[in-house]
Amino acid sequence: MGPGTAWYLAVAGFLFGVGTLGVLIRRNPLIVLLSLEIMLNGANLALIAFARHLNNGDGQIFALAVMAVAASEVVVGLGLIVALNRKRVPLDVDRLSSLRG
Amino acid sequence: MANFLVWVVWVGAAFGCLVSALGVVSFRNPFYSALALIGNLASLAVLFLLLSGEFVAAGQVLVYGGAVMVMFLFVIAYVGPRTESPWTGGPSWQAIGGVLAAGALLVEIVVVIGLKAGGDLAHSHDVGGAFGTPSYIGRRFLTDHLLAFEITSIVLLVAAIGGVILGAHSRTTPDEVPSL
């Protein structure tokens, strides 16, 4: 009998908290994206822990869908960062404060 | 003995996971942050294996550790390293607020899970040997979750189109058409 579900959930909650911290305090949009990945991975760990706990594979399916959405988010986010860099906009989320449209 | 080994592997993976997550948040150079995230993903894959999610662990390593992180490192190399020091220069109101909000969220998660599922978490169900294998996942995807599968494919297609449009060079002059 290995570690119980509560241990995995503790790790998942901590990962989510650390990711939130990164999203809130970092100013480089690349690191904000990396911290978002940590948050999504924390949620994934909780989903898979509950799937194992309840003997129900739906949690794993959900985790795979989350991974696909995370990959899409990275594609769009990195595309935005490259486009910003090409327009010589400073890569600082505190200074990206105006929209045009 | 096997029990002890599982605990050793679990402690190592969980410790690596937490330390590398803290590294992602606190490294000054985004290149080191991306490398720390690779360590985070690898140790998460070990945790997934311990939870008998074999296919998800393999997908994690292939999709995240392979494709996504290579793309991240490429973009960091393209944009150039921009270092910032998140923990120096005295505590700003923004850092204090961020730490407080993240701590409040963590406490909320722990309290909600403890209140709603505290008693049930002790005894988990036994899973069969087929749980989490590729054939199991594939069967679930193509029977019960076919709609989710198709929607996922549409999401990926839309993301690919968006990436192409955002990354394409605009032929017009910048002041004529806002390409962003």
Task: Indicate the domain borders of chain A.
Answer: 5-86
Residues B81-131 have pLDDT tens digits of 676 766 666 667 878 888 898 889 888 888 887 787 767 776 677 777 788
Domain ranges of chain B: 1-83, 145-180
Contact residues on chain B for A34, CB-CB shorter than 8 A: 24, 30, 33-34, 37, 72
pLDDT reported for residue B85: 64
Decide if B67 and A33 are in contact by the 8 Å CB cutoff. no
User: How far away is chain B from the Cα of A93, in angstroms, using its nearest Cα?
Assistant: 13
Query: What pLDDT sits at residue A61?
Result: 92
- Cβ separation of A61 and B145 shorter than 8 Å? yes
More confident residue, B79 or B45: B45
Classify domain B1-83 at the CATH topology level: Four Helix Bundle (Hemerythrin (Met), subunit A) (1.20.120)
- Assign A52 to helix, strand or coil: helix
State the Cα–Cα distance between residues B167 and B122, nearest whole angstrom.
50
> ipTM for the complex?
0.89
Note the pLDDT of residue B89. Answer: 60
The number of C-beta contacts closer than 8 angstroms across A and B is: 234
Question: For all residues of chain B together, what is the average pLDDT?
Answer: 84
B65: Cβ contacts below 8 Å, ≥ 6 apart: B38, B41, B42, B45
Q: Cβ contact (<8 Å) for A13 and B131?
A: no
pLDDT value for B113: 79
Total length of chain A = 101
Per residue in B49-60, pLDDT (tens digit) is 988 889 999 999
pTM: 0.87
Q: What are B15-39's pLDDT values in tens digits?
A: 999 999 999 998 888 889 999 999 9
- Mutation pick from A5, A18, A54 vs chain B, by most beta carbons of B within 10 Å, is A18
Instruction: Judge: B18–A84 Cβ closer than 8 Å, yes or no.
Output: no
Q: Look at residues A33, A32, A31, A62 and name the one whose alpha carbon lies nearest to residue A46.
A: A62
**Between vectors from CA B64 to CA B8 and to CA B128, what angle results, nearest 5°?**
55
- How close B105 gets to chain A, by Cα (Å)? 7
pLDDT higher than 60, residue B150: yes
- The per-residue DSSP string of A77-95 comes to HHHHHHHHHHTT--S-TTT
Instruction: Please tell me the predicted confidence (pLDDT) of residue B105.
Output: 87
CATH number among 1.10.287.3510, 1.10.8.60, 1.20.1440.120, 2.60.40.1930, domain A5-86: 1.10.287.3510
Give B18's contacts in chain A (Cβ within 8 Å). Answer: 11, 14-15, 18
